Amino acid sequence: MNYFELFSFLPEYDLDTALLAERYRDLQRAVHPDKFANASEQDKRIAVQRAAQVNDGYNTLKHPILRAEHILSLKGFDLSHESTTVKDTQFLMQQMEWRESLEDITDSDAPEEHIEQLHHSFSDYTAQIKSQMSKLIDSDSEQDLLNVADMIRKLKFMAKLQDELARAEDALF
Amino acid sequence: MAYSEKVIDHYENPRNVGSFDKNDSSVVTGMVGAPACGDVMKLQLKIDANGIIEDAKFKTYGCGSAIASSSLVTEWVKGKTIEEAQAIKNTDIAEELALPPVKIHCSILAEDAIKAALEDYKSKHDK
């Protein structure tokens, strides 16, 4: 299923999210069960399937990592079901340090500043990867796409860190 | 999801947590990570002049199964030769800990950590 086609977008990483939300509402309305109250069982079933696709498509396209993964899968690289091990030592050392720093929040004298600092580091790093990724993702060269796959994997680690940071923040207040 | 007793035991009483001195020339390090769940695992081995693994330590950020898998591995590799450690399979780890199918990737990560540490050993000794 090509979600970009479903939402009438070109399969590109940069995407107008306001327009996406607008098209989502239109598509939702078109397949709403109320419209099929008097339809045949088969048409009802198709409408329900279509509604599920519209929801999945919207959730995929609005989420930057899932959108990038979808683009790669359309180009023949399926990352969503992989169980690849990342072995980039330098990157993983940095991940380890950040995880340790997250643990230190509770014992910190100034936990709010500590959180603020980590927020900065995480968003800076994430923004860096995203900007590199957006330059390569619309390419068709296999090497570029393999690099993009690596960047998506890194973004997943960063998303995990940001989740953990949000959790540490919730635990404080 | 219920964890097996062995997983809980390793999770609550992890063996050999920590780090060795990075500057110790007999210490090698394997760093691995699983993007799907964001788990990060560090396995360090202290290998003597005869190629016997004297000691092992780990540090893992991840779920209970990932921690248990790496904790178990540190116990298993101690006293083994490099070849013996190389032969440890993720299926052995998964079986010992009775990991459910959705947690098999944790045992794969632990096997990959051993491999990564032994690659570090080779790169240091082939020079």
Q: Please give the model's pTM, rounded to 2 decimal places.
A: 0.89
Q: Does A82 touch chain B (CB under 8 A)?
A: yes
- Give the tens place of pLDDT for each residue, B32-84: 999 988 999 999 999 999 999 999 999 999 989 999 999 999 999 999 999 99
Tell me the mean pLDDT in the region B97-126. Answer: 94
Q: Within this chain, do residues A52 and A98 fall inside the same structural domain, yes or no? A: no
Residue A84 is assigned to a structural domain of this protein: no
Q: Within this chain, do residues A45 and A113 fall inside the same structural domain, yes or no? A: no
What is the distance in angstroms between the Cα of B43 and the nearest Cα belonging to chain A?
A: 12
Catalytic pick among B8, B37, B52, B108: B37
Q: Within this chain, do residues A112 and A160 fall inside the same structural domain, yes or no? A: yes
Residue A74 is assigned to a structural domain of this protein: no
In a 10 Å sphere around its CB, with 0-12 CB exposed, 13-18 middle and 19+ buried, how is residue B26 labelled? middle
Domain ranges, residue B78: 5-125
Mapped onto helix, strand or coil, the DSSP state of residue A82 is: coil
What is the distance in angstroms between the Cα of B97 and the nearest Cα belonging to chain A?
A: 20
- Give the tens place of pLDDT for each residue, A4-60: 999 999 999 999 999 999 999 999 999 888 888 888 889 889 999 999 999 999 999
Classify residue B78 by its DSSP letter: T
CATH number at residue B55: 3.90.1010.10
Residue A70 is assigned to a structural domain of this protein: no
Residue A25 is assigned to a structural domain of this protein: yes
* Predicted local distance difference test score (pLDDT) of residue A25: 96
Domain ranges, residue A165: 89-172
- Give the tens place of pLDDT for each residue, B71-82: 999 999 999 999
Interface of A with B in 108-167 (CB under 8 A): 152-154, 156-157, 159-161, 163
Q: Give me the amino acid identity at A13.
A: Y
Angle of helix A64-74 versus helix A142-172 axis, rounded to 10: 160
**A-chain residue closest to B103, CA distance:** A83
How many domains does one find in chain B? 1
Asked if B33's CB is within 8 angstroms of A92's CB, the reply is yes
Residue A133 is assigned to a structural domain of this protein: yes
Interface of B with A in 77-106 (CB under 8 A): 105
CB-nearest partner of A83 from B31, B40, B108: B108
Residue A138 is assigned to a structural domain of this protein: yes
